[in-house]
Amino acid sequence: MSDKKNFNDDEEIRDKTQIATTKAKVEETSQPMDPCLTQLSGLGSGQVFNLKNKTLKIGRDSSCGIWVEDPHISRFHATITDLEGKTTIVDENSTNGVFVNGKKIKSHVLNNGDRLLIGTRLYFKFSYEFADYQRVQNQKYQEANCDSLTKLYNKRYFIDTLSREFSFSRRNKTPLSLLMIDIDFFKKINDSYGHLAGDYVLGRVGEMLKKGLRHENLACRYGGEEFAAILRNTPASSAEVVAERIRSSVAGLDLNYMSHPIKVTVSIGIATYEIDNYETYEELIKTADEYLYESKMNGRNKITVKKAA
C-alpha cells in the first residue's frame, strides 16, 4: 500500500515536470524571431542589426543604416530589404562586390544561415533570432568596445581603428588627423567636488564629443580625463577648425553638479598625416601628445597644431 502511494507520487511529479517543460518550450517558440545580420569580422565584429520590416543601406557613407568602417567597402555598397517575410540583398554597383555563400550576386533572397561577404573581407551571417539573443549580443559588443561611463569607444577600439586608418591613408595618399584632448585641472574637480562630480564631467564631455563629430569620424576615451578623435581625410587646417569647435563647445557647457556650477575647459594637440611625414601611427600619437602637452604649458584651454613637414 505504501509502495503504491510512493509510486503514484513519483508519477505525478514526472507528469507535472513534463507539462512545465512542454509549456516552457511552447512559450519560447511563440516568441517572435526577427531577421538579422550579425557582423563576423572587422571593427564592428559582434554587432547584430535587426532587419524586420526595414530597408537599410550598407556602406561607408555616414547616412547608411549599417555603417561599416572598412576602406574596401563602397560608400553605398548594398541595400538589404525585409518585406512581407522575405529579406533581399542587392549589390549597388559596388567596387568589390557582394557574395552569398561564396557566390557573387547582384540580387539575392536570403535564407536562414546564409553567410555574406561584403567587399573583400567583411563577413556577416543572416539568421532569424529571438529578441533576447540580439539584445545580449549587442550588449557584449558594447562592453567589449565602449567605455561604460562616457559611451564613447574605448582605447582598444581606438588603436585598432587608427592603425587601419593610418595604413589606408598611406596607401591612398589621403590626410588623416588625430586630436588628443585633455580636460584641464581635472584633479581639482575631483578634489573639490568628489569623484562622482568628475564622472559627471567626463560623461558630459563625452556626450558633447559624440554629438559634435561627424559619424565617419571617431571619438574615444583614451584614458582618465584624456580623449582622442580620429578625423578621416582631414588636413591640418580643417582639423584645427574641428578642434576649435570642440574647445569652444566644452568651454560653453553649462555644468552643474549637486548645485555646484563647474567650469570646464580642454587643451588639444593635433597631428596630421600628410605627404608621408610619419612612418607609423604610433608616431602620430606621440606627436599629438607632445602638442597637447605644449597646449597645457602655454596656459591651457588652447590648441596646438602639428602641420605637415
Residues acting as catalytic residues: 225
CA 148 to chain centre: 12
